[in-house]
Structure 1
Amino acid sequence: MAESDLKSAHIGTETAYQGSAEDEAPPPTGWMYKPVGFGKFKIGWYASPKFQLGMVAFVCFLCPGMFNALSGLGGGGKADASLADDMNTALYSTFAVVGFFAGTFVNRMGVRLALSFGGIGYCIYSISLLVSVHAYVPGFNIFAGALLGVCAGLLWAAQGTIMMSYPGEQRKGRYFAWFWAIFNVGACIGSLIPLGQNINVKTNKTVGDGTYIAFIVLMFFGACIALFLCDADKIVRPDGSRVILMKNPSWWTEIRGLWETIASEPWIVLLFPMFWSSNWFYTYQQNGINGAYFDTRTKSLNGFLYWFAQIVAAVIIGPLLDLERFRRTTRARAALTILFILTVVIWGSGYAWQKRYTRESVGTDAIAAGLFTAWDWETPGYVGPMFLYFFYGMYDAIWQGIVYWLMGALGNSGRKLANLAGFYKGLQSAGAAVMWSLDKNKLSFMGEYASNFGLLCGSILIAAPVVFLKIRDTISVEEEIEGTDETLEDVLPPGAVEQKRLGGDNI
């Protein structure tokens, strides 16, 4: 049977080209494919999806994880959030532009260089904040924010490509959980740094130099780790299959692929509001709640709890999304329904907290006049907002996990998923840039809260037709290699093509 005759055949099992825990094939020869670990504690070979995703998780642990810890303090660790608002507006503006096209750059550059270059931007961003404590350097600060937008666009597109295309169809939720947990351990540890250094500070003030220096060193180390990754063309799954890629991508083929991703499946745009909303809430949570209402040491504690909640949620949601006893279509519909219910419950509860204060009632004038004192963890009533902030953190991880899983359910091709990750991060960052700008222009805290509640609920409803009508239980490898220069022999396990020709679908 000719290869062209196989186009109509449907591969009905994950092991056909995506691998499973039960059906493992011997890896190729070479140092990249020798098992890592000892005894029964093996974590796969160096060029396996699990090992590579673990390395990417540690890069994000040290770069965006530390950035999240710093941002979680409100105002980038500074008592006045104005500078951080300006820097983050520049950051997310460039992130939005670069992020939208980042999949093209990642496909051309490779994930290793994209991740390493991305990590450098985080380091320079923290250096600029440290310098701003001792000198007035707004130009450097805005440049650092804009540069980080470029770097982060590449880093997150590469990360999304790895997390969605490396695992098999029935393991994408688990891979998200593993990555998100390790990544947010970085944010947790990063939050403990200022907590330990400001354990006795019961006022709202800028963190010390040591905090910024610690972040700078860790971020630089993360950028260096990225250089030791291997590119996607070296990855071999446990069943012997490989990631679907363009063998010799050019700038033209990748730009054309970006357009083809939307042109071939225009209904993908219905997911764009979810992409836009996915970082909209950070500004309100970090500046409107944590930065505005609590003292320095309590902000650090809240930040730790927020990122720890993300670990808890990721560990729960990831395996649930991969429950094989239910069809993938059923899981997708249930996930979106549950996400809508959680939005109403958690953000609805947030209204009770937000209506108690305004931007003016907790501002510098109110503090100077003695009308407001920043809350400490010893303040009576602190437990209520502490749990609210904890559940906001859980909600973030659940939202991101479901969106990543839905994108992963739309395909397995590394090329296509790199473009989807780029769309996701680009639109996500465009939304964040708008929200940081609104915060800079002193939009009321209630206005920020209401915009979050409305956008999150509305975007879920807009995405419902895609989730209910377009998600399928599996996607054949023939469909995935269309438009690439890969063949079945390139991506299926050794011997699988011949077995398919002889015996049909069940390989």
Structure 2
Amino acid sequence: MATIGKAPPSYDVNLPERSLTDSTTLELPDSWKYKRFTIAGFKLPWFASPPVQLVIVSLVCFMCPGMFNALNGMGGGGQLDPTANNRANTALYSTFAVVGFFAGTFTNKLGIRTALSFGGVGYSVYVASYLSYNHTKNLGFTTFAGALLGVCAGLLWCAQGAIMMSYPPEESKGRYISWFWMIFNLGAVIGGLIPLGQNIHTKTAGGVNDGTYVGFLVLTIIGAALAWSLVDARDVIRADGSKVIVMQHPSWKSEILGLWQTFFTDPYIIFLFPMFLASNWFYSYHFTEINGAYFNVRTRALNSVVYYMMQIVGAYVFGYALDIKGIRRTTRAKAAWGALFAIIMIVWGCGYIFAKSYDRAWAENETNPKKDWTDAGYAGPFVLYMFYGFTDAAWQTCVYWFMGALTNNGRKLANFAGFYKGIQSAGGAITWRLDDVKTPYMNMFASNWGLLAGSLLVALPVILWKVEDTVALEKDVAFTDETVAEVAPKAHVVTAHHDAEKV
């Protein structure tokens, strides 16, 4: 796992920035990991480069969390009765919330491949439990699978977050985040097309069939296996010749102390916690209380596909806007905050109008037919649901970018990612449970809008005073255990000329 600590003498911890075009003159180790191939005149990056490694991680998430999102985006996990989905997701986010806080510690120790693959296995068991539920109605198995997935996903998302934020150079972090989010959500789009194709000719309100679950199960298994194709963080070399700062042999003690140390070295991170909490708060409202409660099965599938397509659009727009050259990073951070606040107020303001049109009593009355895309008045809720997806991607992209703008330290970013996933999962556990106990829809709506807007206000001081145009190496190296005090002064700078030390 990318982290900081004892920098082996052979590692270059700070090399001059170079462009991708200059990287052709870079002397790389003689290994298959650094071979470059040309396809149709385009020279591909070497395998152990940040772009290739990010694509692999994105594909793992495409096939594992992507299928999870497609399943949950159907409302009720594809079941007509959302009880099993509510119980499973409450268990999932409860264990995720606990594991998430310590996921940076465990992922740093276990390594990227193990964390990601173990996480993928959890998604496979989760999908299999719904396939079983179609035949056995075994609520215990789905609840257990949810709890297991919370543990597995805590490690998967921590590893993914640290890679996405620490591998790219500072000027490319927004684009890397958007690339990941687009590939990841493409999985949910394709996953949503499966039940859409199977149910496109029926207006009945039933759940999805076995074929849908089998398709999801196969993809999650492939994703778990794909994680083993990643290379170690210490082998990754950027286009400018620099390496990810890593700890050679982290101990459990140093990693746990590093987690605790984050609260003292970076106490301002607490001001981002409400944004973390809000980032999963709205999913039960979107998936179960809008899509699952208001629409029939084929319309739910269509809505889910478009929801995640708009996530791709939102990630692209915000990811690239956050990396606009010629504008200071501090200015971009403030603009991103302002854009987020405006989008939240506009989209959720329109959502209030829609939320007044139905309630839980209407949704749970079996005599009321669910809405179909052929019904009059479908266009308004359809467009609203699209922009709920856009807003979700904008929020997640900005939160990751804000964290990445605070440090380049892999160990600290692993801890930030762990806090992020742990807190957002606590929010998810609360809201899925609130839906399970039949909380009125309007109350759920109000909690979402209030938390989203309020958390932005709480985070504003961090955006204004802690985001800098660049993070000095000395700041990142300062965050470490007592052993670094001995090796940090020995960190050397290697130039990229022909007479430079080879990386």
How does 1:118-137 map onto structure 2 within 5 Å?
A: 118-137=119-138
- Offset of 1:332 from its aligned partner? 0.5
Give the residue type in structure 1 aligned to 2:151: V
What's the secondary structure of 1:367's corresponding residue? Answer: coil
Give the residue type in structure 1 aligned to 2:215: A
Match of 1:440 among 433, 436, 440: 436
Match of 2:375 among 376, 379, 383: 379
Matched, 1:113 2:120: no
2: CA distance between counterparts of 1:22 and 1:342?
Answer: 37
1:40 aligned residue:
41
- Offset of 1:490 from its aligned partner? 6.5
Cα contact 2:15–2:495 (8 A) shared by 1: no
2:355 aligned residue:
354
How does 1:92-241 map onto structure 2 within 5 Å?
A: 92-241=93-242
Match of 1:476 among 472, 475, 479: 472
2:418 aligned residue:
422
Give the residue type in structure 1 aligned to 2:412: K
Q: Which moved more, 1:324-333 or 1:301-310?
A: 324-333
Matched, 1:458 2:454: yes
1: CA distance between counterparts of 2:496 and 2:179?
Answer: 31
- Offset of 1:247 from its aligned partner? 1.5
What's the secondary structure of 2:95's corresponding residue? Answer: helix
1: CA distance between counterparts of 2:349 and 2:78?
Answer: 29
Cα contact 2:91–2:147 (8 A) shared by 1: yes
1: CA distance between counterparts of 2:148 and 2:454?
Answer: 32
- Offset of 1:179 from its aligned partner? 0.8
* TM-score (normalised: structure 1): 0.92
- Offset of 1:480 from its aligned partner? 1.4
Cα distance change on mapping 1:380 and 1:37 into 2, 3 Å: farther
How does 1:249-288 map onto structure 2 within 5 Å?
A: 249-288=250-289
The CA deviation string for residues 147-196 of structure 1, in whole angstroms up to 9 with x for no partner, is 00000000000000110000000000000111111111100000000001
- Offset of 1:40 from its aligned partner? 2.8
Give the residue type in structure 2 aligned to 1:219: T
2:8 aligned residue:
none
What's the secondary structure of 1:361's corresponding residue? Answer: helix
1: CA distance between counterparts of 2:447 and 2:270?
Answer: 21
1:367 aligned residue:
366
How does 1:275-314 map onto structure 2 within 5 Å?
A: 275-314=276-315
- Offset of 1:248 from its aligned partner? 1.2
The CA deviation string for residues 452-476 of structure 1, in whole angstroms up to 9 with x for no partner, is 0000000000000000011111111
Matched, 1:333 2:334: yes
CA root-mean-square deviation: 1.9
Q: Which moved more, 1:227-236 or 1:391-400?
A: 227-236
* TM-score (normalised: structure 2): 0.93
Matched, 1:393 2:389: yes
Cα distance change on mapping 1:405 and 1:17 into 2, 3 Å: farther
Give the residue type in structure 1 aligned to 2:382: M
1: CA distance between counterparts of 2:101 and 2:44?
Answer: 34
Matched, 1:402 2:398: yes
What's the secondary structure of 1:302's corresponding residue? Answer: helix
1: CA distance between counterparts of 2:196 and 2:383?
Answer: 18
The CA deviation string for residues 81-132 of structure 1, in whole angstroms up to 9 with x for no partner, is 0110000000000000001110111111111110011000000001011101
2: CA distance between counterparts of 1:319 and 1:21?
Answer: 18
Give the residue type in structure 2 aligned to 1:451: S
- Offset of 1:138 from its aligned partner? 2.1
What's the secondary structure of 2:377's corresponding residue? Answer: coil
2: CA distance between counterparts of 1:145 and 1:264?
Answer: 34
Cα contact 2:318–2:394 (8 A) shared by 1: yes
Cα distance change on mapping 1:251 and 1:467 into 2, 3 Å: same
What's the secondary structure of 2:383's corresponding residue? Answer: helix
2: CA distance between counterparts of 1:133 and 1:367?
Answer: 20
2: CA distance between counterparts of 1:19 and 1:276?
Answer: 38
1: CA distance between counterparts of 2:349 and 2:390?
Answer: 15
Matched, 1:318 2:314: no
Cα distance change on mapping 1:325 and 1:494 into 2, 3 Å: closer
Give the residue type in structure 2 aligned to 1:180: W
Cα distance change on mapping 1:19 and 1:159 into 2, 3 Å: farther
Cα contact 1:43–1:50 (8 A) shared by 2: no
1: CA distance between counterparts of 2:16 and 2:280?
Answer: 34
The CA deviation string for residues 306-363 of structure 1, in whole angstroms up to 9 with x for no partner, is 0000111111111110012110011001101111111100101100101000000121
What's the secondary structure of 2:248's corresponding residue? Answer: coil
2: CA distance between counterparts of 1:346 and 1:18?
Answer: 40
2: CA distance between counterparts of 1:488 and 1:76?
Answer: 54
Give the residue type in structure 1 aligned to 2:193: L
Cα contact 1:15–1:239 (8 A) shared by 2: no
Give the residue type in structure 1 aligned to 2:471: I
- Offset of 1:22 from its aligned partner? 5.3
2: CA distance between counterparts of 1:415 and 1:220?
Answer: 29
What's the secondary structure of 1:280's corresponding residue? Answer: coil
2: CA distance between counterparts of 1:443 and 1:410?
Answer: 38
The CA deviation string for residues 201-235 of structure 1, in whole angstroms up to 9 with x for no partner, is 21221110010000000000000000111121111
2: CA distance between counterparts of 1:71 and 1:43?
Answer: 36
Give the residue type in structure 1 aligned to 2:270: V
What's the secondary structure of 1:227's corresponding residue? Answer: helix
Cα contact 2:116–2:159 (8 A) shared by 1: yes
- Offset of 1:136 from its aligned partner? 3.1
Cα contact 2:16–2:496 (8 A) shared by 1: no
5+ residue gaps, structure 1, are 1-13, 500-507
Aligned residues: 481
5+ residue gaps, structure 2, are 1-12
The CA deviation string for residues 55-83 of structure 1, in whole angstroms up to 9 with x for no partner, is 00000000000110000000000000011
Query: Which ranges of 4 or more aligned residues in structure 1 deviate by more than 6 Å?
Result: 488-491
Give the residue type in structure 1 aligned to 2:29: P
1: CA distance between counterparts of 2:400 and 2:380?
Answer: 31
2: CA distance between counterparts of 1:286 and 1:137?
Answer: 22
Matched, 1:51 2:47: no
What's the secondary structure of 1:45's corresponding residue? Answer: coil
1: CA distance between counterparts of 2:114 and 2:458?
Answer: 36
- Offset of 1:26 from its aligned partner? 3.1
Cα distance change on mapping 1:379 and 1:120 into 2, 3 Å: same
Cα distance change on mapping 1:493 and 1:315 into 2, 3 Å: farther
